[in-house]
Structures are given as C-alpha cells and as structure tokens.
Amino acid sequence: MSTGPGADSAPAPTPTTPVPPPVSPPVPPPVSPSVSRKSSMFSSLKIRNYRLFFAGQVVSNIGTWMQRIAQDWLVLSLTGSATAVGVTTALQFLPMLLFGLYGGVLVDRLPRRRTLLVTQTSMAVTGIALAVLTLSGHVQVWHVYLAAFAAGLATVVDNPARQSFVSEMVGPDQLQNAVSLNSANFQSARLVGPAVAGLMITGVGTGWAFLFNGLSFVAPVAGLLLMRARELHVVERAPRGKGQLREGLHYVAGRPDLIWTIVLVGFIGTFGFNFPVYLSAFANDVFHAGAGSYSLFNTLMAVGSLAGALLAARRGTARMRILIAAAVAFGAMEIVAATAPSLWLFALLMAPIGMFGMTVNVTANTSIQMGTDPAMRGRVMALYMMVFLGGSPIGAPIAGWITDSYGVRAGLAVGGAIAAAAAVTIGVLLARVGNLRLSVGWNRGHPQVRFVPRERQEELAAVA
C-alpha cells in the first residue's frame, strides 16, 4: 500500500532519519510483508467463503464475456454502425456515471452479502429477457439499448458491493491477493467467453449466448447462499444519516494519493478502454474479417490481462510508480497498434495492451482499497468505479464518432495518446505533491530509475 504519493518508492525511515510531517491524513498500516511472497499467489483461496465466491464468479464471468461479445456483434449486425456500438456501451455504463456515488452510500449501509443476492438475480433476469427476444426473432436495437441500461442500473450497487465484500471474506491480510485473483478470475473467463461466444454466434446465433449468461448467475447466487456468515469479517456499517455522500467526497479530496489515482483511471477508462468500439471496427472495417477475428482480439487481450493480474498477485504490493509506468506503456502500445498493417500483428499487440491495462486496473484498485478506511470503502470504491466505468458514456460515443469520421486507426491512436499524456502529467504532479525527485543510477550493475525524497536525492548526490 502506498501511504502517500510516491511513498512506495521512498526508503523506509530509520530511527536516525527525521521523518517529514505528513501531507495527508494517516492511512491504515502497510500490508504485512508475508503477502508479497511468491508462495502467497493463491493464498486467499484457502478461505472457504472466498473459494465459493471465486468459483461462482468463474461461471458468471464467462457468461458476462459471452454476452458482451454477442451484444456488440448483434448491434453491429442490426445497424452497421460503430457509433451504435458505442451508444450501447455508453448506456451500459451511464447509470454508474449518474448514480454511482449513491450506490456507494447504499453499500456502506446495507448487508453486502444480501445486496449481492439481489443484484446478481436482477442481472440474470436481464440476460434471460434479452435471450427470449433474440431467439424469438423480435429483437430490435432499442431492446439491446434497454437491456444494457438495465444491467447498468444493477451494477451501480453490484460493483462497489462486490469490491467491498472481498475484505469481509478474506480480511486485511489477504486483501491484496484476493483483489488480484478476482482480476485473474475475470480475465481467465475472458479467455473462454469470447472464444465460446464466437463459436456460438457463428453456429447457433447470439440468442444462446444471452441465455447462457442469464443462467450463469445461478453459480454466484448459490455460492453466496452457501457461505458461513460466522466466518465473515465483521465490518461496521454506516448508519442512515444526512451528508454521507458529501462526507465520502471530502474524505477523498483530502487524500492526494486517492484523488490523483482516481483521476488517472478516469482518463484511461474514458479514452483508452473503448475496446468494444475499436476491436469490432478493426475486425469488420479494417481487416474485413468476421466475428471469429473479433473474438480472437478479445482472447489475446485476455491472455495479457491474465498475465498482468497474476503478476500483481505475485508482486503483493501496489506501488505508485508501477501504476504510472504501466499507464504510459498502455497508451504507447495503443498508438503502436493503431498503425499495425496486418491482422496478425494487430492481434499480437493485444496481449501487451491487455497486460499493461490490467496492471493499471489492479494496482489502482488495490492501492485505493488498502488505503481507505473500511467504513468509507463502499463510497470510495463507488467513486472509483463511477470514474473508471462511468467515463464510457462520454468516451464511447466520442470514440465511435472519431471511428466513423476519421477511421478506427485515428480513434485508437487518440485514445492511447490521451492515456499516456494523462499518466505523465499525473506522475509529475504526484512527485511534486510528495516532494519527490527522479533518481537515475545503478544498483548491482543494473540501471535503476525511481522517485526519492528531495532530501534523499541530495544525500545520493553527495555520496556519488
């Protein structure tokens, strides 16, 4: 956990080293070093409640990815417009933008296990309804828009509830590991879901993919019902009262390490993660391929994302310098992919894009959860998810418009450039807030680049 901007890169103070006054309110203590050992990569799965949760999410996440692929391809088939795909994505995340903060307030008040039972069931109903419309041959594009918006309403509460519920299942010592494994779970399903969806779309149609997604929610609901309530870590819920939303915003505003991390993922989520628009247009318009190529792009991106999530679980710590570096690399790789001349080169570039994108996601998610007071976690995670996912209603239509007007290569390049520029700018700001300077040197014969406090920089120069 980073206790302040760039604090992860600074050396630990010794009894003879004066400690500078804190620039932000105190945060929870760092995670025990034990969580960073390689042997701890899957340690949170030893907890029964988390195993049930993890297993249920495997099935549900496969269905979710199948529906995403089928939904994008159905809209593109019905309209022939990348903008329409962007509108669908925007409608799915618009509720998070409009109501995300209120969802966090509810999550801090309500029992999270019961809340998840309601949200997971409602998303199952949405998937089954869209399957019935599609299989009966009566589906229209506005039906898909409505289903996307309804699913988005459920995620307003479901996302912060799931993020916050992890700490109740595993406790603070295993939180970093469990968050990383959740991401690995999601990306593992991303390997299977798009591939199965591509086969299902070309073989029997999109309706069956929607039906599988609706039925897949049986697994997480069963897992929640089978959990042992006595083994959950007790978290004090916020009582009903006025000003709780404002209280959460003030809490984040007073923490530079939280606010700038959220701003960074906001830029990346809004302009860099519009892959439903970009990948479908590359498959259909640039390389003139079918749904199989679209699924291939998503699958290879999932390979990289899975690698990024597992590396985060092995790393065990969330460092600000890793977040900034991964964000810069993510944007740069998108610019490179925008110029790829062939389908196979473009497809291969999806793996590093997925790895760096997932590194950004996991590092930011973990640092925010581990640096937040448990009583505030629902509201802070709601703000995080609102900014990260809620930016899609703004970014997806813009990406679709640029794609339709100037070509998908221009759209992907612009998104990558904005993500990289935001990372560099925020990295400089965080370094200044934390009174840090860039240190370039050698460590045991290897080049080392890191941020150190200005006082420490002067000491290093004197030694040199």
Residue 224, pLDDT > 80, answer: yes
How far apart, in whole angstroms, are the C-alpha atoms of residue 391 and residue 27?
Answer: 28
Q: Say how many C-beta atoms besides its own lie within 10 A of residue 23's C-beta.
A: 13
pLDDT at 427 over 60: yes
Beta bridge partners of 443: 446
Query: Per-residue DSSP letters for 305-349?
Result: HHHHHHHHHHH----HHHHHHHHHHHHHHHHHHHT--SHHHHHHH
pLDDT bin (cut points 50, 70, 90) of residue 310 is confident
Q: Which of 98-107, 171-180, 236-245, 407-416 has the lowest mean pLDDT?
A: 236-245
How far from the centroid of its chain's Cα atoms is residue 247's Cα? 25
pLDDT computed for residue 448 by the predictor: 54
Q: Is the pLDDT of residue 452 over 70?
A: no
Helix (H, G, I), strand (E, B) or coil at 4: coil
pTM above 0.85, yes or no: no
User: Which of 302, 284, 238, 290 lies closest to 109, judged by CA?
Assistant: 238
424 pLDDT exceeds 60? yes
Mean pLDDT of all residues in 231-241: 71
Among the ranges given (37-51, 163-177, 395-409), the one the predictor scored with the smallest mean pLDDT: 37-51
Classify the C-alpha dihedral 26-32-37-42 as positive or negative: negative
pLDDT tier at 17 (50, 70, 90 boundaries)? very low
pLDDT category at 315 given cuts 50, 70, 90 is low
Q: Are 43 and 112 in contact (CB under 8 A)?
A: no
pLDDT digits (tens, 9 = 90+) for 133-148: 999 888 898 999 999 9
Classify 6 in phi/psi space as left (phi over 0), alpha (psi -120 to 50) or beta. left
3-state secondary structure of 448: strand
C-alpha to C-alpha distance for 375 and 373, rounded to whole angstroms: 5
